[in-house]
Amino acid sequence: TKIAVFASGSGSNFEAIAQACRSGELLAEIVVVITDRPAAYVIERAKKMNIPVAAYEAKAFRSKEAFEKAIVERLADDGVEWLVLAGYMRLIGPTLLNAFPSRIVNIHPSLLPAFPGKDAIGQAIAHGVKVTGVTVHLVDEGMDTGPILAQQAVAVVHNDLEKTAQSIHEVEHVLYKETLQQLFKPIYTTSESQK
Ligand code: GRF
């Protein structure tokens, strides 16, 4: 399965997925990393692993549509089948959604539908919940709203954003690759089950 990872930041989830592809645990190939931030640390991580990066700055385009069209062209050239969002801080628009219908996956650091949007871990701590978690879901036109594929609970470390974030990231790095592997697995039908 040929995938593109979209990231705007540190890229620890990108790296976990890339390692799983390399070890054969995840039967997929990251053909390109797409970033909207030319200074994102994910670029260093990708370079170290010899994975191509394409950076697109939204402000260099006249519209969101033009920005996404340029990305879609690159993805088509590379034969990309699935988009994997890993800390991509931009809402996916109709151009990308229509090019990859039900083929875009995201990971979010909360038990959705609780705490969508930015700073989900901070929101959970501010709210005083004792348990938060991680959600992997398909992307639709909303913000963190698409069909849920997998969730795992993580205990909040009382008033400690850093420690809670660390546990969340550890869970993310395992849950994402496992969920993607399930998603990409071919479905075999036997002649018996077709009767
Ligand atoms: C993760 O917590 C992910 O759930 C959220 O953004 C963060 C990205 O972290 N969408 P990293 O860049 O993969 O380290």
What are the two backbone dihedrals, phi and then psi, of residue 180, each rounded to the nearest 5 degrees?
-65, -40
Residues that are catalytic = 108
> pLDDT by residue (tens digit) across 77-133?
999 999 999 999 999 999 999 999 999 999 999 999 999 999 999 999 999 999 999
Quick one: pLDDT at residue 185?
A: 87
Say if 77 falls within a structural domain.
yes
Say if 193 falls within a structural domain.
no
What CATH number does the domain containing 119 carry? 3.40.50.170
What are the two backbone dihedrals, phi and then psi, of residue 32, each rounded to the nearest 5 degrees?
-160, 145
pTM of the model: 0.94
Say if 136 falls within a structural domain.
yes
DSSP state, residue 138: E
9 contacts 42 by C-beta, under 8 angstroms? yes
In the reported structure, the alpha carbon of residue 1 is separated from the centroid of ligand 1 by a whole-number distance in angstroms of: 22
CA–CA separation, 130 and 97 (whole Å)? 35
Say if 194 falls within a structural domain.
no
CA–CA separation, 77 and 70 (whole Å)? 11
> What is the count of structural domains for the chain?
1
> pLDDT by residue (tens digit) across 127-185?
999 999 999 999 999 999 999 999 999 999 999 999 999 999 999 999 999 999 999 98
- Using alpha carbons only, give the angle 22, 27, 28 rounded to the nearest 5 degrees: 75
Is the preceding peptide bond at 186 cis, omega within 30 degrees of 0?
A: no
- Which protein residue's CA is at the shortest distance from atom 8 of ligand 1? 87
Ligand 1 atom with the shortest distance to the CA of 11: 12
Say if 108 falls within a structural domain.
yes
Residue keyed to tokens 């069909």: 147
The domain in which residue 154 lies consists of: 2-187
Global ipTM: 0.97
Does residue 193 carry a pLDDT above 60? no
Amino acid at 82: W
Among candidate residues 103, 85, 111, the one with its CA nearest the CA of residue 171: 111
Say if 94 falls within a structural domain.
yes
The reply to whether 64 sits in an annotated binding site is yes
The reply to whether 128 sits in an annotated binding site is no
What residues flank ligand 1, with Cβ below 6 Å?
7, 9-14, 86-87, 107-109, 172
Say if 68 falls within a structural domain.
yes
